[in-house]
Structure formats: C-alpha cells, structure tokens
Homo-oligomer: A and B are copies of this chain.
C-alpha cells in the first residue's frame, strides 16, 4: 500500500483578505502530478478540506474537479474526513453514492466505525476514517457518560479500530485532532479553550500509521508513524519558515512504514521582509519573489507618506505592513502626554518634509506645537 497523506487544505481561505483560490488550484495541480508520478494507491485527506462550513461555491467546484480527476482519470481511491473547519453534513452529502466510485468521505462521526479497504498495486490496507468530533457528541453517540475529554472520545473510537479484524492487513487511522506536544502555527483554530483538546500520542502508536490533520507544520509525535502532514500551503506569516509538503507513505510488511516528504512549491511564497523603505524598494527590483505574499516590517523611524502604495509599486502582493521602527522609536521615548506631543510633532515634521521637500521653519514649528497642545487640552487629556 502506497498513499499520499495530506490535510488542512482550507479551500476558500483568505490571507489578509487576499483570496488564495488561485494558489490552491495550482497546489492541487502539483498534487495531481505527484499522485501520478508516484503511482500511489490512495490519497488521504485528514480534515479541514474547506476553510468553513459553508465554503464559497468556487471552492466547492475546485474540489469537485480535482476529485474527479483523481478518481476517474488516475483511478486512485480517496479517503477524506471532516475537520473542525468543515461543515460535516454538507461535506458528506451523497457520500454513500460516491463510495462506489472510490471516493470515501466520512462526514459526521457515527457510533460505528467504517473501515475502508483499499486494494492497490502496492498491496492492500484498511483505512479507518475518524472525523473531528466534540467529546459531547461522541459521549452521546456511544452512550458512555465516562467520555468527557477529547482524549476519552478518541480512546473510545480507537478501541473499535483495535477490535476490527483486518485479516493481517495494515491498519491506517485517519484523524483530525491535537496531539499533546504538537507545534502550533497562527492559522489553526483551537479545538477548545484551556488545553482540554489535547490527546496523548500513545493512543495512536499501536496502529501501523496515523494520518493526522489539524496542525499546519509537518511533524510527528511519539513515533515516526504518528504524523501530521501539515498544510500544503502557508496560511499565516508565522509559517514562513515551514517547508510545506505532502507525505508519501509506503507500508512495508513487518517493518516501519517508509516515509518521504514531497515538497509543494507554491506559486507565490508567503514571507516576511524587513528593512528600511529605500533599501527594500531597491532590492525589490531584482527580487525574483517580488510577487510573493508579503508582510513588510519597516525599520524607518520617521513617518512615511503612503508607505503601502510605495511598496506595492514594487511588491504587488504586500498584504500587511508593520511599522516596526516607528514602534520601537516610540517605546523608547518618555511616557505620557509629553511623549505623545513630541511624537505627533515629529510625525508632522516628517510629513511636511515629504510633501513640501523642505523642513518646517521655526515659527511654523511653534505654531504646530501650540495647535497640537490645544487639541489635547480640548480633548481633556
């Protein structure tokens, strides 16, 4: 059995109000090529396929077209589960009809598990799709009052997987959860408040492979075969240094699975650049990645007129701007009203300088200073 494990596509997501649908379409093209090149038997998508329970219609069409190619053209089975971002009832519409074609979508969790046997060129295996579920739902479904936490719920569901007779075939669990010790990014939505969402990795180690979703950085916990594939795209600037990939897994009889990360190179990278405006503008001209989605941290300590427009003339996809220099400068100044006044006068001096091309004269500066002070008095500060 050879399969690709991926998760957290978040189709339909935006980054600082920029739609990422083009990037996502290009990512799916790359994934399609990898599926073909590596002749996999199955594709596993471990939740958060869509970014929200009601995704944009264009995201629905994108997924539909992709799955059709995987299933009808490449004849590769797909096992997919709902994550905490997905609207599971919507995702699962028609799932029982699609199963016949080799598309196994597990929507809401049910009291019984639904093992999926896939017979591939590289051998057979059982997949056990366990969608994201609130502990209260699992407690209700299994009629087991002792289920209080995510840990309890997962233990109860996995005991059913344990009990299933796979006739010696590898058991691959597909789940969307938060393993204790896992590294978070800024783009995952917490499963619950206060840490009650964490599950010990030891629950998954008895199985031949655990294909997990939720955390956006690729990582394993407890054992190498208990893995997060991570998202195939960067969904926050905190992920700028993550190498995004999908995970290629070969089940090897009587041995640990063979695992390789297949890099996904995005159309546009998501990264942070830092420096003074003039330097950044000069560098941009020869930066092959100037189309990337950028957060810019400006180190300049003076006010700048329309810095976003100036940056976007060179870097068209600047999504967010931080005036790092200005904030540091201000935090070094004296506290209270005096600092505010000085800072406002300084900013106006910078502004006047840029617009008029000359400095404020002495009388002009005095007038402006009086004006700012009187405004503060009027505001009662």
Contacts and interface: CB of A to CB of B under 8 A. Distances in A.
Contact of A103 (B57, B92, B97): B97
Contacts of A202: none
Given A54-B54, A100-B101, A67 B89 contact: no
A24 B273 CA distance: 57
Tell me how many chains of this kind the complex includes: 2
A60 B100 contact: no
Contact of A92 (B64, B71, B90): B64
Interface in A41-63: 53-54, 57-58, 60-61, 63
Tell me what chain A mostly uses at the interface: helix, strand, loop, or mixed: helix
Interface centre among A57, A63, A71 (most CB of B within 10 A): A57
Contacts of A68: 96-97
Nearest to A68: B96
18 contacts: A53-B57, A54-B54, A57-B87, A60-B93, A61-B89, A63-B93, A64-B94, A67-B94, A67-B97, A68-B96, A94-B105, A96-B101, A97-B98, A97-B100, A97-B102, A97-B103, A98-B101, A101-B101
A72 interface: yes
Contacts of A102: 97
Contacts of A89: 57-58, 60-61, 64
Interface in A62-94: 63-64, 67-68, 71-72, 87, 89-90, 92-94
Interface of A: 53-54, 57-58, 60-61, 63-64, 67-68, 71-72, 87, 89-90, 92-98, 100-103, 105
Contacts of A103: 94, 97
Nearest to A78: B97
Given A68-B97, A97-B101, 17 more contacts: A53-B57, A60-B89, A60-B90, A60-B93, A63-B93, A64-B94, A64-B96, A67-B94, A67-B97, A72-B96, A93-B93, A94-B95, A94-B103, A97-B97, A97-B102, A97-B103, A98-B101
Contact of A98 (B53, B54, B57, B94): B94
Nearest to A87: B57
A100 to B, nearest CB: 5
A97 B69 CA distance: 11
